[in-house]
């Protein structure tokens, strides 16, 4: 992919890029909507990435080109404002650049940028974090800006939260930045501590992407975010609002009467999900993969009943794949309201088995899900 990106860059801009970087997509392993509640979460970086090529220009223009859409958008370095809807994709690298400058990067000239990707966008695999982190690495290198990994991860998130306008937590950018091949990233979102543990070697990940996306998915995400904030406000009882992470189920039961049923259930999901993540970490370290699998299914059940961010298609995929041999567990992975289901399987689970799931799904919904197995990969880097 790197060579073809360089070739396309030369064709488009008439010179070779000065920097090429890449950043992976991720699977949310367990920890659903816990990140922006100061909770804990585990994710795995994938071997599928977004790549970015950059070279300086002599003027003060920023040119963004995308191998996928063939578009070429010009932005003035002295006027870094959010682009209109149709050029939405530019906002990811543009917002990152803006916040790098705010963090101290000195840009005396503009750049030409081309990106390419083998990571499906909008599939719950966080292509948005991948483009943010790949851009951050390439830009920091191009302008010789020294920043540690955590700073670049935070800038990616800031771009997504405040420039793009999506109130996500640190999971996506954290895993895309700190991921390791054969590793699982554990994030404490309150302290923003990132650690990596070895993945069990005899496991595989399968992704079943429903290709369904709820029309209001961003709005629904923001609504869940707001419901969680309402619960933490009540739980904090008039004091400074503390994140849901700070409370346990007993605390929640004590204020149940002060919460609407919906807000109560959202908070219960998040609080119990944090417990599941801690338990999953313990079981992983003890080598109890069957136990981890049960927690994956419990997480999905809670998304279905309490957080209501699942949908018929995802429930059906989880139910279908969970009955098959070699499957430890399955759950929706990512924000929900459509998107993908992740299954953790042993090595006996084959493409044929996955195809069977596809066929059963097609009989019910009239179209096949997008299915692939993926391996873990390294976090963002200049290549």
Q: List the catalytic residues.
A: 172
- Closest to ligand ADP by CB, 49 vs 320, is 49
- Closest to ligand ADP by CB, 271 vs 314, is 314
- Closest to Mg ion by CB, 126 vs 358, is 126
- Closest to ligand ADP by CB, 119 vs 231, is 119
- Closest to ligand ADP by CB, 37 vs 117, is 117
Rounded to a whole number of angstroms, the minimum distance from the CB of residue 123 to ligand ADP is: 6
Q: Following DSSP, what letter does each residue of 163-217 receive, concatenated?
A: II-----SHHHHHHHH--TTEEEEEETTTTEEEEEEPPTTEEEEEEEEEEE-TTH
115 binding partner (options Mg ion, ligand ADP, none; Cβ < 5 to 8 Å by kind): ligand ADP
Across the chain, where does the E strand assignment appear? 19-30, 40-56, 61-66, 72-76, 111-117, 183-188, 193-198, 203-213, 327-333, 338-346, 370-374, 381-382
Rounded to a whole number of angstroms, the minimum distance from the CB of residue 129 to ligand ADP is: 6
Asked if 177 and 155 touch (Cβ cutoff 8 Å), the reply is no
Question: Exactly one of 22, 34, 37, 128 binds Mg ion (CB under 5 A); which one?
Answer: 128
For position 173 contacting Mg ion by CB under 5 A, the verdict is no
Contact residues toward ligand ADP (CB under 6 A) are: 50, 66, 88-89, 92, 115, 117, 121-128, 131, 334
Rounded to a whole number of angstroms, the minimum distance from the CB of residue 335 to ligand ADP is: 7
What is the widest separation between alpha-carbon atoms in the chain?
67
21 binding partner (options Mg ion, ligand ADP, none; Cβ < 5 to 8 Å by kind): none
Report the SS3 class of residue 119. Answer: coil
**Binding map of Mg ion across residues 244-263, x = CB under 5 A, - = no contact:** --------------------
Rounded to a whole number of angstroms, the minimum distance from the CB of residue 259 to ligand ADP is: 29
34 contact partners, CB below 8 Å, separation of at least 6: 40, 41, 169, 189, 245, 270, 273, 274, 277
For position 358 contacting Mg ion by CB under 5 A, the verdict is no
Spatial separation of the C-alpha atoms in residues 265 and 282, rounded to whole Å: 26
Asked if 178 and 153 touch (Cβ cutoff 8 Å), the reply is yes
Report the SS3 class of residue 64. Answer: strand
97 binding partner (options ligand ADP, Mg ion, none; Cβ < 5 to 8 Å by kind): none
- For Mg ion (CB under 5 A), the number of binding residues is 2
Spatial separation of the C-alpha atoms in residues 169 and 29, rounded to whole Å: 15
341 binding partner (options Mg ion, ligand ADP, none; Cβ < 5 to 8 Å by kind): none
Report the SS3 class of residue 256. Answer: helix
- Closest to Mg ion by CB, 310 vs 358, is 310
Report the SS3 class of residue 162. Answer: helix
Rounded to a whole number of angstroms, the minimum distance from the CB of residue 115 to ligand ADP is: 4
- Element spanning 133, H or E: helix 127-142
Rounded to a whole number of angstroms, the minimum distance from the CB of residue 364 to ligand ADP is: 24
66 binding partner (options ligand ADP, Mg ion, none; Cβ < 5 to 8 Å by kind): ligand ADP
For position 274 contacting Mg ion by CB under 5 A, the verdict is no
Which of 254, 191, 258, 249 is closest to 230 using CA atoms?
Answer: 258
- Element spanning 356, H or E: helix 351-365
Given the rule CB under 5 A, which of 29-37, 123-131, 150-158, 314-322 is the region that contacts Mg ion? 123-131
Using CB under 5 A, list all residues that contact Mg ion.
Answer: 126, 128
């Amino acid at each position: 992919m790197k060579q073809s990106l360089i070739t396309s860059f030369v064709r488009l801009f008439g010179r070779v890029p000065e920097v090429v970087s890449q950043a992976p997509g991720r699977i949310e392993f367990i920890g659903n909507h816990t990140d922006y509640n100061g909770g804990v979460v585990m994710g795995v970086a994938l071997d599928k990435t977004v790549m970015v090529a950059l070279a300086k220009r002599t003027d003060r223009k920023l040119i963004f080109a995308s191998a996928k859409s063939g578009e070429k958008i010009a932005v003035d370095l002295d006027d870094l404002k959010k682009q209109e809807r149709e050029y939405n994709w530019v906002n990811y690298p543009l917002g990152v650049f803006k916040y790098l400058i705010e963090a101290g990067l000195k840009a005396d000239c503009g750049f030409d940028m081309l990106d390419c990707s083998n990571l499906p966008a909008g599939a719950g695999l966080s292509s948005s974090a991948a483009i943010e982190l790949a851009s951050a690495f390439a830009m920091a290198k191009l302008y010789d800006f020294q920043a540690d990994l955590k700073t670049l991860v935070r800038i990616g998130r800031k771009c997504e939260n405040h420039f793009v306008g999506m109130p996500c937590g640190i999971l996506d950018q954290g895993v895309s930045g700190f991921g390791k091949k054969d590793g699982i990233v554990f994030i404490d979102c309150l302290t923003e501590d990132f650690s990596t543990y070895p993945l069990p070697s005899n496991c595989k990940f399968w992704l079943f992407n429903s290709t369904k996306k709820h029309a209001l998915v961003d709005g629904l995400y923001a609504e869940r975010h707001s419901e969680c904030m309402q619960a933490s406000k009540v739980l904090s009882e008039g004091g400074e609002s503390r994140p849901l992470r700070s409370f346990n189920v007993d605390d929640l039961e004590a204020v149940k009467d002060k919460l609407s049923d919906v807000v109560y259930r959202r908070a219960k999901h998040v609080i119990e999900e944090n417990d599941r993540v801690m338990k999953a970490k313990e079981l992983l370290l003890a080598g109890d993969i069957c136990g981890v699998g049960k927690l994956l299914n419990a997480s999905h059940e809670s998304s279905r009943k309490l957080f209501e961010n699942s949908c018929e298609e995802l429930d059906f995929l989880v139910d279908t794949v969970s009955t098959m041999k070699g499957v430890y567990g399955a759950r929706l992975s990512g924000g929900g309201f459509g998107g993908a289901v992740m299954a953790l399987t042993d090595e006996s689970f084959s493409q044929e088995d996955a195809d069977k799931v596809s066929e059963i799904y097609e009989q019910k919904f009239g179209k096949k899900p997008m299915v692939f197995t993926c391996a873990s990969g390294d976090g963002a880097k200049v290549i």
